[in-house]
Amino acid sequence: MWQNLKEKCLSGDFKSLARCISLVENEVEGYMSFLENLSESDNTTIIGITGPPGAGKSTLTDGLISELLSKEKKVAVVCVDPSSPFNFGAILGDRIRMSEWYNNKNVFIRSLASRGALGGLNFKIIEITSILKSAGFDYIILETVGVGQSEVEIAGIADQTIVVLVPESGDEIQNMKAGLMEIADVFVVNKSDRPGTDTFIKNLKLMLATSNNPETRQIPVVSVIASQKKGLDILTNMILNPTSFSKKQERKTMLLVEKAYQIIQQKRMKNVDKEKLYIEIKQNENTNIFKFASNYY
């Protein structure tokens, strides 16, 4: 089964590609061997798009698809939506915003539920990007949940990380944690036709200029109106010419270590069943949770 799927994925069969992702996400027998034998393309660039909710990440992604297609590029898009903490389901609403591209032979779109992952992604995002890299895409766009300050995980996977902000953030920019600021390769100020944009961009640039980290000072700021596709050409040119971004090899290596750590962690936790935990805790609700957890160490 896996060999047949692999051949179809490499030939550009999107249905087989979607099935591979589902089988890997659900850890169907043989999936690890399948992953170990993948040949990832070195020519695929992963673009991470993150930022607070309501910043227009999906609209920006939709605009970037259009721009990259105009450059005759093949694009895969992975959109991660938040899961319910009770049933782990998700609305996956990003599909609606990108419906224009469903029948385009050069665009593959997949929505995923975060399934409780705290980094704004999905527990199997590393494996999924590996599958897509083997399928011959020029660019893979990863759009995170949008939980804000905890989304530093994206930088360990993406070659280029775009942090999307809006003018309404105002003074909140001063409270933004260093993690989210330091993962950015470029800041995009979306909805820049709104009042206060110039002041917001000025404050953002001032904060970057006074940073103690020399790399942070070099981060460019791009003003766009994604809904009107204004400014996207500038952003696209930066993506196509990665020399526009500062090099952060040491940070990249450290985050690759985190990726390996996560894979090992997932394997070690494989035998811990949340449904079983639910039943056990429900039967012993008054027990000390630390003592209870120690039984699984």
> Among 25-29, 222-226, 285-289, where is mean pLDDT lowest?
285-289
Res 224: pLDDT: 97
CA angle, residues 162, 259, 217, in degrees to nearest 5: 35
- Cα 43 from Cα 26, distance rounded (Å): 28
DSSP per residue, 47-90: EEEE-STTS-HHHHHHHHHHHHHHTT--EEEEEEEPPPTTT---
For 201-241, write each residue's pLDDT tens digit: 988 888 888 776 776 777 899 999 999 999 999 999 999 98
CATH code for 40-283? 3.40.50.300
pLDDT bin (cut points 50, 70, 90) of residue 285 is confident
Q: Show me where the domains of the chain are located.
A: 1-38, 40-283
Per-residue pLDDT, averaged over 110-127, amounts to 64
Partners of 107 in the beta sheet? Answer: 75
For 176-193, write each residue's pLDDT tens digit: 555 566 778 899 999 999
Helices (H) and strands (E) in the chain, counts: 13, 7
Res 60: pLDDT: 94
Per-residue pLDDT, averaged over 160-177, amounts to 72
Res 235: pLDDT: 95
- Cα 81 from Cα 19, distance rounded (Å): 19
Return the higher-pLDDT residue of 146 and 151: 146
Residues 6+ apart with CB under 8 A from 72: none
Reported pTM: 0.80
* E strands, 166-274, in order: 186-189, 221-223
Element containing residue 197 per DSSP (H, E): helix 197-209
Query: Left (φ > 0), alpha (ψ -120 to 50) or beta: where does 146 sit?
Result: left
